[in-house]
Amino acid sequence: MQLIKPNTNIDFVGKRKLAFFVSIALILIGIVSLIVKGGPNYGIDFAGGTLVQVKFTEPTDAATIKGALKDLDLGNPVVQSFGEDQNEFLIRVERTTGELQGLSAQIQSTLEKTFKKGQVDIRRVEMVGPQVGKDLRSKGLKAIFYAMLGILVYVSWRFEFRFAVGAIVALMHDVIITLGAFSVFNKEIDLPIIAAFLAIIGYSLNDTIIVYDRIRENLGKHNKEDFSFIVNRSVNETLSRTLLTSGTTLLVILALFILGGGVIHNFAFAMLVGVVIGTYSSIFVASPILILWQKKSKVRTS
For 242-268, the DSSP string reads HHHHHHHHHHHHHHHHHHS-GGGHHHH
Q: What's the CA gap between 229 and 157, in Å, rounded?
A: 25
Q: Report the half-sphere exposure of 48 (CA within 13 A, side-chain side).
A: 13
In degrees and rounded to multiples of 5, residue 59 shows phi and psi of -60, 145
Using the 8-state DSSP alphabet, how is residue 29 labeled? H
Beta strands in 117-230 (DSSP E): 120-128
Q: What's the CA gap between 110 and 175, in Å, rounded?
A: 42
More confident residue, 99 or 285: 285
Inter-residue contact 129 to 117 (CB < 8 Å): no
Q: Report the half-sphere exposure of 130 (CA within 13 A, side-chain side).
A: 6
Q: Read off the pLDDT band of 21 (50, 70, 90).
A: very high
Q: What's the CA gap between 179 and 198, in Å, rounded?
A: 12
Q: What's the CA gap between 187 and 178, in Å, rounded?
A: 11
Q: What's the CA gap between 170 and 162, in Å, rounded?
A: 13
CA distance between the termini of the chain: 46
pLDDT at 254: 92
Inter-residue contact 180 to 270 (CB < 8 Å): no
Q: Read off the pLDDT band of 194 (50, 70, 90).
A: confident
Q: Read off the pLDDT band of 251 (50, 70, 90).
A: very high
Q: What's the CA gap between 44 and 133, in Å, rounded?
A: 7
Q: Read off the pLDDT band of 179 (50, 70, 90).
A: very high
* Mean pLDDT within 58-81: 78
Per-residue pLDDT tens digits for 100-117? 557 777 777 888 888 877
- Its pTM stands at 0.80
Q: Indicate if the alpha-carbon torsion angle 157, 162, 166, 171 is positive or negative.
A: positive
**Cβ atoms within 10 Å of 81's Cβ, excluding its own:** 17
